[in-house]
Structure 1
Amino acid sequence: MIPLDKITVVNPRIRNKRGFQEIVDNIAQIGLKRPITVTRRTEAGGPYYDLVCGQGRLEAYRALGQNEVPALVVSADPEDCLVASLVENCARRKRPAIDLLYDIGGMKQRGYSVADIARKTGLTSEYVHAVIRLIEKGEQRLLRAVESGQIPFSVALEIAEAEDQDVQAALQNAYEKNLLRGRKLLAAKRLVEQRRVQGKRLKVSSHPQPRQLSTAALVRAYQEDTDRKRLLIRRAQAARNRLIFIAEAMRRLLEDDAFRTLLAKEGLATLPKNLVRRLDRLEASHP
């Protein structure tokens, strides 16, 4: 267990707020499944630690108000830590949503009830039930359509449960319930026709295997990450210069008695605390 205030992130990255909140909620509900990885850095008042892998988990623990986080401590120099962090970021691939849907079927096979799966995944029981039924019936084509938002899960389930001659009636029913209209209705009709002609299962496509991560790709990813950080620094510097300009302008305006009188008449005699502190520092530097 490592104190959070002893850990430094050597290769910080900006993450999606929604994705980060999902990490926080997941850890809050079921705990940390994999410890972060750090390396020890000996300094006065230490030991201190540099983060190797697990920035999202570390920040989630901070957001949850924890003081310590489970960690694996490895021996590595700063360069190795940076490379390991870059490799983890490059290797991180967003799993296709269709795989996540099949995970729901896997949970059902391991004995979890629909209610348990819904609670653990944050999905509705109706959605979980529909996904499980589509998987049990081998409806890969319909499952992919649900995952892509092409048709609602309730419509997909109705099509799957209907006999072939009743599928058109299921589409008509979805139209009357205002579940399928316009482009979605046309897409659903094409899907039903493909399902009738080509079957319920999707054909395995011959996609090329993903390329191995090469040294050149790693260097390119590092360069792109560096460029993003440089751009962020330039933007921060520009914002800082604007703030300095505004603070200096306010300082000079507040030296004008007429301007202060006008502010008082308009009920604007007070300023934000941060601005007051900055103005006080400017005053001290302009005796």
Structure 2
Amino acid sequence: MSKQHRQGSIQMIPLDCIVVLNPRERNHRQFEEIVGNIKAIGLKKPITVTPRPLADGKERFLLICGEGRLKAYQSIGEPTIPAFVVQVNDEDAFIMSLAENIARRQCRPLELLAGIKQLRDQGYDKQVIAQKTGLSLDYVKGILTLLEHGEERLLVAVENGRIPLNTALEIARVGNEEKNVQIVLQELYESGQLRGKQLIQARRIVMQRQSLGRSVAHHPPRKTSSEVTTNSLVRSYQKEVDRQKLMVKKAEFAQQRLLFVAGALRQLFADENFTTLLRAEALDTLPTYLAERVWPEGH
């Protein structure tokens, strides 16, 4: 970004004239803290916008950074907000917004990484993207590779620090074949690149990737009540009947064993030598529920 682009002035801008360039979801607790701080001490740092005149002569402003502050002002009913107005084109405005999000590292990982892909789609090569975002060239190359293969689950794991980027790239390289993935994890472990918690996390992510897919947004549709049929009800009923029959069988088996134990103890306790030995070893007591079965009429 040139110095001319960074020159600007502070103005009071109507909220309804500002368009959010790069919207993202926000943490509710953090947003409430922003609102509370603004109510208590006011706005400490102006938002950044760039003007865009409309065909009817009216002026709109693209928001470059400060979405949280803008929404906080909207929530407390303020009509205008202090803004630092800069003259930049659409591409530079987007890069400034993306760089702000990367610096804060508070946006959702996929939103951040999709921004890198958008820069690539706008014609920037990997070297320029790395320079403009402050990320390493190897990191940008790896992220773009995972994006091209739709590996959202691996991307989120990398951005959250659960697994290294090289691990994600190796998993993506071998595809979904479980045997090949396990070989890759074994090789990474033996080379010392993947140890401890990261190895556990990698295995967990691989299992999720195989069962839920590469995307974190799409899951297999759940059956709804509209899909219930007569046959499904009959199957459910039969399954419950079988479960209860099995429970009855287990209860009968346990009762038979208990009766056998009670009978055996009754015969043993009838032997005076055996009871004398138990008393000598201080083993002449029984749990109440068992004693009541050995001597139903008391002892």
TM-score interval, normalised by the smaller of the two chains: 0.3 to 0.5
**Structure with larger Rg:** 2
Normalised to the residue count of structure 2, the TM-score between the two structures is: 0.41
